[in-house]
Amino acid sequence: MTDSMTSKHIDLLDFSELPAPIYFRYADFNTHEYASAHRHPWGTLEYSANGVLHMEIGNSRFMSPPQYAVWVPPETEHSFYSNQPINYRAVCLAPSLCRELPQQACTLAISDILKAILKDFAVRDVKIPEYEADVRLGQVLVDQLQLAPVHECYLPYASSPGLLGILEALQAEPGDNRPLADWAAQIHVSERTLARQFVRELGMSFGEWRQRLRFLAAIEALDSHRSVQDIAFDMGYSTGSAFIAMFQRQAACTPEQYRRSHLENRKV
C-alpha cells in the first residue's frame, strides 16, 4: 500500500483510552502519508473535508469522497493512506456511544449539519467539547451519526479474480471507455453474465461503478492546476459539460466550486 522511501508515517493517538466520551482530531495530511494497520477500543468516524479518503479495513478497501465518511467500529483493524493532500477530521467515540452505530465498518452519508459541526470544531480546534454549547453540539453530532444512511462502501471491490482484474484496470485508467461487452470478452464470459456479476458482487451496475471511480479520480485531479477540460478528457468524457454534469450530480457543486472550496479549507 505504501512506499517506505517516499511515505511518511502518521502519528497515532498516544493514549489507550479516550480522555473524554467524544474526542476530535484534525490534521492536514500531505501526499503519501499513512497509518499502518492498528486497532483501538473506541470507534472512529474518519472523514476528509476535501480530497478522497483511502482506507483498508479488514480485507476491504474504502475510498470515500467528502459527502461521505468511513465508520470504523471499536477494536476493528484499519489502515489509512493519502494519495493527495487531505483535510482530515476524525470523531472518536467511547464504546458506550457506539452501541447504536453499525457493528461493521461502512461508509456513512453525512448530513450538512454534521459537516458544519465538524468544520466549526476544526476552526476552533475543539478536541474535547467543554463549554455547554459545545457539549450540546457534540450530542447533536452523535444523533446525526445514528441517523446517517449506511452505504456498505462508496466504491466497493470484488473478490473474484476476473472482476477484480477489470476493476484494477479501470482504476489504473479511469478514462477507459471500453463497453462492458469488451471487458466480458477479455475474461471469457458473456456480457449478461458480467453485468449480473457486477450487481451481485458490488451491488451496482458497471456504469455506476465506473462513474463513481471517475468522480473520485476527478477529486484527486482537481488538486492539480490542470484545466477542468483536460481532466474531463482524462476521465473519458468527450465534452467538458458532460463531465461537469456528472460531477455536479455527485458533489452538488461544479468542479471549479469544489476546487475553490478545497483551497479555502486548506487555509483553515
CATH number at residue 245: 1.10.10.60
Q: Are residues 220 and 117 in the same domain?
A: no
Confidence tier at 8 by pLDDT (50, 70, 90) = confident
Q: Are residues 236 and 128 in the same domain?
A: no
What's the pLDDT at 2? 46
What's the pLDDT at 266? 58
Percentage of the chain modeled with pLDDT above 90? 74
Counting the structural domains of the chain, the total is 2
What's the pLDDT at 4? 47
Q: Is residue 127 part of a domain?
A: yes
CATH number at residue 72: 2.60.120.280
Q: Is residue 233 part of a domain?
A: yes
CB-neighbour burial class of residue 258 (10 A; exposed 0-12, middle 13-18, buried 19+): buried
Q: Are residues 217 and 89 in the same domain?
A: no
Structure confidence by residue, pLDDT tens digits, 206-245 = 999 999 999 999 999 998 889 999 999 999 999 999 999 9
Q: Are residues 188 and 108 in the same domain?
A: no
Q: Is residue 29 part of a domain?
A: yes
> Final residue of a domain: which of 93, 121, 151?
151
> What are the phi and psi torsion angles at 22 (to 5°)?
-125, 125
Contacts of 234 (CB under 8 A, 6+ apart): 174, 175, 221
Instruction: Tell which wins on pLDDT, 42 or 9.
Output: 42
Whether pLDDT at 267 is above 60: no
Q: Are residues 126 and 189 in the same domain?
A: no
Q: Are residues 176 and 143 in the same domain?
A: no
Structure confidence by residue, pLDDT tens digits, 135-165 = 999 999 999 999 999 987 889 888 889 999 9
Q: Are residues 14 and 145 in the same domain?
A: yes
Whether pLDDT at 15 is above 90: no
Structure confidence by residue, pLDDT tens digits, 37-61 = 999 999 999 999 988 989 999 888 8
Q: What is the mean pLDDT of residues 106-115?
A: 93
Q: Is residue 224 part of a domain?
A: yes
Q: Are residues 99 and 185 in the same domain?
A: no
Joined together, the cell numbers standing for residue 106 give 461502512
> Final residue of a domain: which of 120, 151, 182?
151
Structure confidence by residue, pLDDT tens digits, 168-220 = 999 999 999 999 999 999 999 999 999 999 999 999 999 999 999 999 999 99
Q: Are residues 188 and 111 in the same domain?
A: no
What's the pLDDT at 265? 61
Burial 166-192 (b: 16+ CB within 10 A, else e): bbeebbeebeeeeebeebbeeeebeee
DSSP-derived secondary structure for 13-36: P--SS-SSSEEEEEEEE-TTEEEE
Sign of CA dihedral 245, 248, 254, 255: negative
Domain hosting residue 41, numbered range: 8-151
Q: Are residues 82 and 197 in the same domain?
A: no
Q: Are residues 103 and 166 in the same domain?
A: no
Confidence tier at 260 by pLDDT (50, 70, 90) = confident
